[in-house]
Structure 1
Amino acid sequence: MKQISLRLQLIIGLLFITFYCIAQTTSRETTLIDKDWRFNFGHPFDTEKDFGHGEAYFSYLAKTGNGDGPAAAFFDDRAWRLLDLPHDWAVEQSFSEEGSFSHGFKEAGKGFSEKSIGWYRKKIAIPQEDLGRIITLKFDGVFRNSKVFFNGYFLGTEESGYDSFEYDVTEYVNYGGENTISVRVDASMEEGWFYEGVGIYRHVWLQKTNPLHVAQNGTYITTEVHDGYAMVTALATIINKGNYKGDIEVTQTVLNPEREKVTSVTGKGRAPGFYKNTDFTLILKVTNPKLWDLETPNLYCLVTEVKQNGRIIDRYETMFGIRSFRFDPETGFYLNGKSVKLKGTNNHQDHAGVGTAIPDELQYWRIKQLKDMGSNAYRCSHHPPTPELLEACDRLGMLVIDETRLMGINEYHLGSLKRMIERDRNHPSIICWSVGNEEWNIEGNVIGERITQTMQEYSHSLDSTRPVTVGISSGFRSGISSVVEVMGYNYLGNGDIDAHRNDFKQQPGMGTEEGSTFATRGVYFTDDDKHYKAAYDKKPRPTFYSIEEGWRFYAERPYLSGMFIWTGFDYRGEPTPYGWPSVTSYFGMMDVCGFPKHNVYYLKSWWGNEPVLHIFPHWNWKGKEGEEIPVWIYSNCDEVELFLNNKSFGRKKIEQNGHLEWQVPYKAGELKAIGYKNGKRLLTQIQKTTGEAKNVKLTPHKKTLTDSNDLAIVIIEVTDKNGLHVATADNDITFSIKGGGKIIGVGNGNPTSLEKDKFLDVISLINIEGLQEQGLSSEELPNLLVSYPDSNWKEAFKDRNYKNQSPSYVYKGNFELIGGLDKDKITFFYKKIGTQAVVFVNGNKVTASAEDPLKFVLTASVLKKGTNTIHIVATPVYKKHDWDVVNTNPGVIQVITPAEDWHRKLFNGYAQLIVQADGSGDEIILTAKSENLKSTEIVIKQ
C-alpha cells in the first residue's frame, strides 16, 4: 500500500509538473506594462547630452547587442524621472512665441533641441518558465521616429508617430532575470500641422505566446445579414515560429453580447512551415442575431483556439459586430437597411491637461460627449487613432472614418495603410477607410488619380467590405475626386458640390469637413485685441460657412450621406484667425476641456431625439444697462416665447434646422424662454442675473473609480450665495489632493491661457566636474576625511596602469547648487568607480540609503549654495582583459524641486481637473480653495 501510495504521489506530481509546463508554455498572456518607466531628455546631435549614445567604437548598428548609452542594458537610470504611460512630454512644457504655431507654441520638438529627444527605460522580469514561448513587445504608438532596444539589442525604428508596431524579443530575453527596455524618441520633425504631442503617448504591452499562434492582428471577420440569421466568415492567420510540422486544429466560437456560446466550428490542416503563415477560413451561422447599430451597439466575441495534438496552445479573442451598411449615390448612407444621415465631427487626439496622452476613460468620455450632442459619426483627423478610441466607438454606437496619415504608393505609405486596416478592420464602428486629406499638390491631377486608385485597390485587398474616401478641398471636378469611391467634400466654399454630383452621379458623397467656425466659449462680443470670438454661429470667412449653413445644405440633399463638422473639440495649435498668444483652435463645438459651446445645443436640437430649449447668453451684463444684447434660442420646439422680467418679447416659430434671435435691452433680472410643441407648453429655460461669487463647487463625472487606470473628470465652478453658477467668474482656484489618487492635468478652455497644464516636480541632474585623483598606500577606507597634498592631485583615470594600481584612490570633484536647500531634495547617485567606497560631501561622511547602497540622500546640513566638494575614497577595479571598459563616471547629483500647488483660473465660469486613481482602494479627497471664496472638498471612492 505504501509503494502504491508513493507511486500515485509520483504520478500526480509528474502530471502536475506536466500541466504546469503546458500552462506556462501554451497560454497567451498580454500584459499592460505602462507603469514605472524612467524618463529623461537626450539630445539630437550632442552625444554628451544624449548620455553617450552612439559614441561606442562598435555601435548598435555595427555589432549585435552593442546598444550604448541609455540603450545599454546596465545603464544607470536611477536619477531619471519615474512616470507612467501614456506620456506626452510636450504638454508638460511652457509656452513660447518661438514654438510651433501649428503645435500650440509648446517648447518641445522642432526648434527646441533640448526637448526634442526623449529616452524611456523600463526593467521587467521574465521567468525561466517562459523559455520556449514567443515574447513580443507591442507599442500602440510612439511620437515619433522611435528606436527600441531590449537588453542592449537594437530591435528597430518606427518613423511614424501613429502606427502601432511590435517587436519579437524572444532570443534576447534574460530568462529568470531582469530585462531592460529602452526607447529613444525623436520628435525634432513634425508629421502633421496640428498638435501631436511627444513621447510614448499610447499603451505598451508584453505578450507571450506559444510558437504556433494566431499572428499579430491575425483575425478578419466579415458578416452577411439575412432574414433571421447572419453568416459570419472568420479568417485566422496562424504563424509558426517553432519547429512543429504536424496537424493542427483551429476552432472558431462565437459568443453573444452576454458572453454565451452561440455557435462553433473547427477546421483541420497542417501547421505552416518555420516562420511561415497559413490561413484558416471558417463560416459560422448565427440565428436571430443582435445587430450592431447606433442605439444598441451589440458586440459579439469570436474566440479563436489553436489546437496541437488535441490540446489548446493559443486562445485569441476578437470583438466584432453583426451589421450591414452601404453608401448609395442617390439616397445616402444606410445602416442595417435603414437610412441614416451621418452627423459627424472631425477630431484630433488632444485634451486639456494631458495633451495626446489620453487615458482610456477620457477617450470614452469624449466620445460620449459627442454622442450626447447627437453626433453619430467620428472622423479620425488625420491619422490612425488609438485602439481604445475605436473600442469606445464600438461600445457607444459611433460610426467611424478611419484615416491614414499620408498618401503614397511605397512601403512607407502602403505599409502604414496595411497596419491600420489589419489592426482596425474588425471594428463594427468603421464604415470607411480614408487614404488622404487635402493633398493640394495632387488633388486635381493625374498623379493624384493614380495614387488614389492604387491605395484604393490595395485597401480592398485587405478589406473588401468598406469603401475608400479622401477629403478634398481644392476643387471637385478632376483628379482624385474623379476616381475615389466615396467623395469627401471639404467645405462648401471650395467648389460646386451640386455640379460635381451631376457629373458623377454614380459616386456617393459626404462632407468630410464642414463649418470651420470661430467661437470662444462664454464670450458674446468679439474682441480681436484679446483674441476672443463671439460664440454666436456666424459665417467665419467668405469661403467658409457657419455650422447651421453647413448642416442645412447637407440635410436638404438626400444624395449626400451627411457631414463631419470641423471640429468636435478645440485642439492645440492652428489658432486661426489669430496667432500668439492664442494656443488653441477656435473651431470646436466644445473647447479643449469638453465644455460645450452653444453650437452643441444647435446640433442637439436637430441631430438628437430629445426636446431641446437652450437660451444664451448669460444675463450678467453690469455696465451695459439699456444696451441691446443679442439673445439666441436653439430649440426643436415649434415655437418659443421670450420674456425679460415677465415682459414678453414675442413668440416666434422655428424653421427646420434653424434658430431664433432677439435684440433685448439689458436689465438685470430673469430672462426666460418657453418652448411650445403642437401649441402646448413643453419646455422652459431661464437665465438669471447672479450675485457675486461665493462658493467653489466640484463635480466629478463619476464618484467611484475602479482601478489605477480609471479617472474622474472634475468640473470646477463657482456659485453665488443662492447656488447659481456665475458665468463671468475668473477666480484662481488652488487644488490639493490626499489619499489614493493624483491630479494628472488641469485646463479651462481659454484659447489664450498660458498657464501650466501640469504642475510637476522639476528634476535637475548635475554632473560632478573636474574629477581628480590621488593614489593611496592602504586599502583601508577612512571614516574621517584627511587633508591630501595639493601637489599630488591629477586628472582622474588619465593614463591609469590597470595592471599596477594603488591599493586605493581618493577622488575629488565639484558640483554647483543654486536652488533652495531647505525645499529641494538632493541625492547623489553613485556609480561605482571602485569595488568598495566611502563618500564625503564638503568634508562630511555621508551614509548610503537602506534600500540602495549606491544612493546617498544629501541633507541641507552638509550642503551649501554655490560650489560643493565631493570626495570618494575607493579600492580600484581591475581589468580582466585589456579591452574591458572601466567606469570613470562617479555618478550624478539629482535635485528635485517640488512643484507648486496645482491651480487654474476659471475661464468664463469653468475649469477642469483630471484625477486618476492609484489602485490602492483608498478614498481620494480633493480640496479646492480660492481667496474670498468658501472652499470645498469632495470624496471620490475606489
Structure 2
Amino acid sequence: MPVLAAGNGRLKISVNEAWQFYKGEIPQFPAKVAAVDWETVSLPHTWNAEDVMDDKPGYYRGVGWYRKMLHISPSYKDKDVFLYFEGANQEVEVYVNGQKAGEHIGGYTRFSVPIKKYLKFGKGEQNEIAVKVNNRFNEDIPTLTADFTFFGGIYRDVYLVVTDPVHIDLTDYASSGIYITTPEVSKEKATVKVAGKLVNSSPQKRRIKVVTTVKDKQGKTVTEKATVVQLAAGTRTTINQDLKPVKQPNLWSPEDPYLYTVATTVYDAATGKELDQVLNPLGFRWFRFDPKEGFFLNDKHYKLIGASRHQDFKGLGNAVPDARQIQDVKLLKEMGANFLRVAHYPQDPVILETCDRLGILTAVEVPIINRITESEAFADNSKRTHLEMIRQNYNHPSVIIWAYMNEILLRPRYKDEPERQQVYFHNIAKLAQEIEDLTRKEDPYRYTMIPNHGAYELYNKVGLTKIPMLVGWNLYLGWYSRSVDDFGPFLDQHHRDMPEKPVLVTEYGADADPRIHSFTPERFDKSEEYASMFHEVYLREMMKRPFVAAGMIWNLADFNSETRGETMPHINNKGVTTLDRVPKAPYYYYQAHLRQDPFLKIASRNWTLRGGIADKAEGTASIKPVANGQAGNSVSTQPFKVYTNLSQAELIVNGVKLGMQKAVGGVSEWQVPFANGINQIEAVAEDAGNLYKDFMEVDFRLVPYQLNANDVPFEELNILLGSKRMFIDELNQQVWLPDQAYRAGGWGHVGGEIFTFKSNRQSYGTDKSIFGTDNDPIYQTQQVGIEKYKADVPDGQYEITLHFAELTGGEPKEALPYNLGGTEAEEEKAEERIFDVYVNGLLVLEDLNLAREYGVARAVAKKMPVTVTGSKGLEITFEAKKGKPVLNGFQLRKL
C-alpha cells in the first residue's frame, strides 16, 4: 500500500482494497504464518453471498479471516492511528503485527480500534492487519432468531484514521465525539448546545481552543462559540458549549430538508495550529406524537407513511456499496414516502446521511428480535449495542425514534412450563425497562418504541405496551391470519384500550412474487394482485384514522431469508420492489397516494409477458383491437388497472380507446381485450391543461378456446395443475396458465382433486421449496388422483412435457420465525404412490415412484415427442398401482 501522509488535522481514508480472505479457522494465526489458500477480495465483503441461495439447507456461520499489509508513514509516529470499521458481523478480533489490538461484539454498529502502539513506522516496514470475524450463533448476542439472513464478513467500509494526539474522541462508542442538541426551536429562533469529548494522549499538558461554528447552506456563519481548556497529559474531558441563538432559522422538514453544518475545530491555543476537526449535520425542527391526532413536525400534521428496509441486494448479500444504498433512500423518496424504519438493526452511515439530506424521518432500532437469553452477557450486549446506536446516530435530524425488542414475544421460551415462562416474561420486561431508562437518559429529546406482533393481549399482559413512549404493531391480518377486514378493528381496539398511547403500524405487507398473477387472488397465493389489494385496504384504513401516527410497509425491497421456502426460496417477497429494486404494482399505488405532483402509472407495467384463453364466443368484447402484426378477431379479456392521483384516466389499446374511467381510491379499472402478439397500451390523463401518459407493450400469448380454431393457430400450452394462479417464466418466455376440467374441443384434467396441505395458509399447493429448479411454482401445485389429461389438438407432431414432484413426506417441518399464524413442528405423512403413464395408449412411464426415485420436493420433467393422428387428439392416462397418481405441470408444444 502506498504511504499515507496526514496534514495538520485529521486524515480519514478507506483501506478497502486488496485484502486476503480465508473462510475457516486457522490454527495459531496470526501469531504464526498460516499455510492456507488465501483469496483476494475487496471490501465490503461477505462470505454468504452465494450459499444462502443454493438448494442446500443452511449457510456458513463460523469464522472468516481477513489480512492486509499496510505501509505506515514514519510521519505518523507522533500521531494517533485508528482502524475504523463501519460494520462486521458479528464477533470481531483485530490483530496488528500478531498482537491483539481490539475486539467488538455486534454485527450492525461501528467500532474504532486504536492501533498506534502495535505499528512499525520504519521506512519500508510492512504492518500486517489481521481481522477474525465470526457470524456463529451465540446465545449471548442478539439477534438469536429472525426472518433475515445473518451474513458474515467485513461487509461495510474500513478506514484508517490518523489524528493529532489532541483530538476529538473516536473511541466513545465509535461516535463522532460531538453531541448536538437544540433545546428550543421555533420559527423565530433556535438554541444550540454542543457537548464535545476531547482526548490528549500526549505526555504533556496542552492548552487548546475549541471553536464550534454553525454555517448555513451557503457557508455563512450563523453562530459560533470558542472555548479554551487545559488538557492534562493522557486524559479525556468533556466540554459543553451554549451557542448564541439562531434567529429565524430555516426549519428542516420533508418538503425542505434544510441542513446546517456544525464544524467543531480544535486548535493549539498558543500557536493557532489546527489539530482536529469534525463536521456534523444540524437540522432545526421540533416534533411530537399525539395519541388522538397523530404526528406533528414544526406544528404541522404529518401522516408518516413509508417502509422498513433490509440492507441486502441481489447477488451482493449485505456487502452493498454506498451508491446502491443511497439509491434505496431515493427510491423511497420517489415513492412519496416521508418515513423509513431502519430495521431491524442500525445500518450503513450513508442511510441516515441520505435521509437527512432528502427529508425522510426515521426510526432506528437494535436487533433484539423474537426472544432473549436470560443472561447477564445478553443484557450487557443488548444495552451496549443500544448505546452505540444512539451515540453514533445522535446528530441526525432525520431520527425521531429509538426502537428495540421487535416482536420479542413471537417465539417465547418455556411454552410447556407456564410458571417458568412467567419468569421469562418478567425478565423480558425487566430488560425492556432497563433499555428504556438508558434511552431516556442518553437522549431525552426523542421518542422510544417497541414494535410488537399482533398478539395484543400477550403484550399488554407482559407490560410491553406500557414501557415505551410509542406502541408499534406489526400487523399481517389477511396474510398470516384472519382477514384484511380485521385490520381496522384492531387499530380501533388499541385506541379504545390505550387512549394515552400513540400507535404506529410498524409492519404490514403481503408477499408478491412478480412472476405470479391471479384474477381470483387469495391469501398466500403470492400474486401481485393479492398484495395490491392488501396494500389498498391497509393504506385506506390507516389514512382515515387520525390517531394512527404512522404506517411502515414491510418492506421497501425483497430481502434474503435463507430459511424460507415458498415460491422464491430464500427470499421474503413482501417488498414493494424486488431484490434488485424493480418496482412492483403496490409501489405505484403508493406513488398515486403519497406524491403531490400529478401522477399516472399502469399498475402492472412490468408484467409485459402475458397469456390467456380466447373468449368463448370468438371475442365477446364489443371492441376487438388487433395486436401489432396479427390478424384475427379472437381476444382474451382481462382486468387492467391504472394508478393515478388525478380524477380520471383513459386507456388506449392498440389504437382503440376503451373509454374514460374515474379513479376511485387512486385506481381506474378496465376490461382489456388482449389480442395475440404485441399489444400497445397507453394510459392518458389530463390535469390543468397538461397531459400525463404512461405506455407499455404486452407480448400476449393467446391460447385458442378451441384448439383447432382457425384464427388463432395453436402453438403451445403450459399448464399448472391444481392451481388458480398464473406463472410467468421470463427466462424461457413461457406463460403458465391455471388448469381447468376437460371440456370438448379444449383441454384439461379428468378426475382427481387439487393438492392441499393442512398447515398451508392458501387453499391449494405447498409452500415447500422445490429442489432442482428455479421455477418452483410449476411444481408446488398438483392434481392428486388424476385419471387422464386430454387436449383436443389437430393431427400433427407435438412435444409434451410432464412435470412431477412428490409434495408429501420429508423431514418434519418446523414453524419458522416469520410464521405468525402457523404451528410448531408438524409431522407430514408421506404418501406411497406408484403409477403408470400412457400417452394415446402407449406406456411411457412404468411403475413411477417419485419419492423412491427422486426424493421429496424434487422437480422431475419427462419430455417426449408425440404424433397425433386420426383426429383423436391427445389423451394421457394415469393408472394407479399404489396410492394416487399425481401431475404437477403439463406442457404441449406443436412441432
TM class, shorter-chain normalised? 0.5 to 0.7
CA distance in 1, matches of 2:771, 2:126: 45
Q: Which moved more, 1:662-671 or 1:346-355?
A: 662-671
Q: Which residue of 2 aligns with 1:202?
A: 156
CA distance in 2, matches of 1:446, 1:282: 42
How far did 1:437 drift? 0.5
CA distance in 2, matches of 1:306, 1:619: 60
- The aligned amino acid for 1:460 is R
Q: Which residue of 2 aligns with 1:42?
A: 24
SS at match of 1:666: strand
Q: Aligned ranges for residues 139-150 of structure 1 at < 5 Å? A: 139-150=85-96
CA 1:211–1:753: 2 relative to 1, 3 Å: farther
How far did 1:448 drift? 4.1
Residue 231 (structure 2) pairs with residue 244 (structure 1): no
Q: Which residue of 2 aligns with 1:211?
A: 165
Match of 2:555 among 567, 585, 591: 567
Kindly provide the CA deviation profile for residues 685-726 of structure 1, in whole angstroms up to 9, marking residues without a partner as x: 44444599xxxxxxxxxxxxxxxxxxxxxxxxxxxxxxxxxx
Match of 2:438 among 451, 458, 474: 458
SS at match of 1:90: coil
How far did 1:434 drift? 0.7
Contact 1:363 1:389 in 2 (8 A): yes
How far did 1:729 drift? 5.0
CA 1:336–1:237: 2 relative to 1, 3 Å: same
How far did 1:393 drift? 1.3
CA 1:257–1:128: 2 relative to 1, 3 Å: same
Contact 2:216 2:222 in 1 (8 A): yes
CA distance in 2, matches of 1:417, 1:252: 28
Residue 78 (structure 2) pairs with residue 132 (structure 1): yes
How far did 1:662 drift? 3.7
CA distance in 2, matches of 1:145, 1:26: 35
CA distance in 1, matches of 2:562, 2:519: 19
CA distance in 2, matches of 1:148, 1:547: 46
Q: Which residue of 1 aligns with 2:289?
A: 327
Contact 1:583 1:753 in 2 (8 A): no
SS at match of 2:161: strand
CA distance in 2, matches of 1:754, 1:558: 50
CA distance in 2, matches of 1:394, 1:196: 28
Q: Aligned ranges for residues 260-299 of structure 1 at < 5 Å? A: 260-271=220-231, 274-299=234-259
CA distance in 1, matches of 2:592, 2:6: 56
Contact 2:109 2:385 in 1 (8 A): yes
Q: How many residues align?
A: 635
SS at match of 1:126: coil
Contact 1:435 1:469 in 2 (8 A): yes
- The aligned amino acid for 2:465 is S
Kindly provide the CA deviation profile for residues 305-324 of structure 1, in whole angstroms up to 9, marking residues without a partner as x: 22334333222222222222
Q: Which residue of 2 aligns with 1:913?
A: none
How far did 1:138 drift? 1.1
- The aligned amino acid for 2:511 is F
- The aligned amino acid for 1:207 is V
SS at match of 2:223: strand
Match of 1:666 among 666, 674, 679: 674
CA 1:349–1:622: 2 relative to 1, 3 Å: closer
Q: Which residue of 2 aligns with 1:89?
A: 47
Kindly provide the CA deviation profile for residues 483-529 of structure 1, in whole angstroms up to 9, marking residues without a partner as x: 21011111163883222222322222211112x2121225423999x
Q: Which residue of 2 aligns with 1:380?
A: 342
CA distance in 2, matches of 1:128, 1:671: 68
Q: Which moved more, 1:354-363 or 1:301-310?
A: 301-310
Contact 1:25 1:133 in 2 (8 A): no
TM-score w.r.t. the length of structure 1 is 0.63
CA 1:532–1:593: 2 relative to 1, 3 Å: farther
Residue 510 (structure 2) pairs with residue 534 (structure 1): no
Q: Aligned ranges for residues 703-852 of structure 1 at < 5 Å? A: 729-730=730-731
Residue 97 (structure 2) pairs with residue 156 (structure 1): no
Kindly provide the CA deviation profile for residues 29-81 of structure 1, in whole angstroms up to 9, marking residues without a partner as x: 112111111112223xxxxxx2x33xxxxxxxxxxxxxxx2455x6578x622
Q: Aligned ranges for residues 585-734 of structure 1 at < 5 Å? A: 585-617=572-604, 618=607, 620-622=609-611, 624-626=613-615, 627-645=636-654, 649=658, 651-656=660-665, 658-668=666-676, 669-675=679-685, 682-690=691-699, 729-730=730-731
Residue 45 (structure 2) pairs with residue 99 (structure 1): no
Match of 1:180 among 128, 132, 136: 128
How far did 1:663 drift? 3.9
SS at match of 1:225: coil
- The aligned amino acid for 1:569 is A
Alpha-carbon RMSD: 3.2
How far did 1:274 drift? 3.0
CA distance in 1, matches of 2:17, 2:203: 35
Q: Percent identity?
A: 28
CA 1:142–1:607: 2 relative to 1, 3 Å: same
Contact 2:200 2:206 in 1 (8 A): no
How far did 1:644 drift? 4.1
CA distance in 2, matches of 1:71, 1:362: 38
How far did 1:164 drift? 1.2
CA 1:620–1:422: 2 relative to 1, 3 Å: closer
CA 1:210–1:686: 2 relative to 1, 3 Å: closer
CA 1:279–1:75: 2 relative to 1, 3 Å: farther
- The aligned amino acid for 1:590 is T
CA 1:219–1:753: 2 relative to 1, 3 Å: farther
* Unpaired segments ≥5 residues, structure 1: 1-22, 44-49, 54-68, 101-107, 111-115, 540-544, 693-726, 733-750, 757-942
Q: Which residue of 2 aligns with 1:851?
A: none
Q: Which residue of 2 aligns with 1:471?
A: 451
CA distance in 2, matches of 1:371, 1:689: 29
CA 1:26–1:634: 2 relative to 1, 3 Å: same
Contact 1:619 1:671 in 2 (8 A): no
SS at match of 1:730: coil
- The aligned amino acid for 1:500 is H
CA distance in 2, matches of 1:178, 1:619: 57
Kindly provide the CA deviation profile for residues 383-437 of structure 1, in whole angstroms up to 9, marking residues without a partner as x: 1111111112122221111111127783211111111110001011111111220
Match of 2:13 among 26, 31, 52: 31
CA distance in 2, matches of 1:474, 1:342: 20
TM-score w.r.t. the length of structure 2 is 0.66
Contact 2:53 2:569 in 1 (8 A): no
How far did 1:270 drift? 2.9
- The aligned amino acid for 2:731 is D
CA distance in 1, matches of 2:435, 2:233: 31
Q: Which residue of 2 aligns with 1:366?
A: 328
Contact 1:673 1:684 in 2 (8 A): yes
CA distance in 1, matches of 2:562, 2:6: 51
CA 1:32–1:630: 2 relative to 1, 3 Å: same
Residue 408 (structure 2) pairs with residue 428 (structure 1): no
Residue 517 (structure 2) pairs with residue 517 (structure 1): no
How far did 1:221 drift? 0.7
Q: Which moved more, 1:293-302 or 1:240-249?
A: 240-249
- The aligned amino acid for 1:184 is K
How far did 1:672 drift? 4.2
How far did 1:661 drift? 3.6
SS at match of 2:78: coil
Kindly provide the CA deviation profile for residues 247-299 of structure 1, in whole angstroms up to 9, marking residues without a partner as x: 43221111222333332111233325634332333324223323222133222
CA 1:24–1:622: 2 relative to 1, 3 Å: closer
- The aligned amino acid for 1:99 is P
How far did 1:647 drift? 5.4
CA distance in 1, matches of 2:401, 2:771: 37
CA distance in 2, matches of 1:538, 1:130: 58
CA distance in 2, matches of 1:599, 1:427: 30
CA distance in 2, matches of 1:639, 1:753: 47
Residue 60 (structure 2) pairs with residue 109 (structure 1): yes
CA 1:277–1:754: 2 relative to 1, 3 Å: farther
SS at match of 1:439: coil
CA distance in 2, matches of 1:98, 1:664: 43
CA 1:291–1:185: 2 relative to 1, 3 Å: same
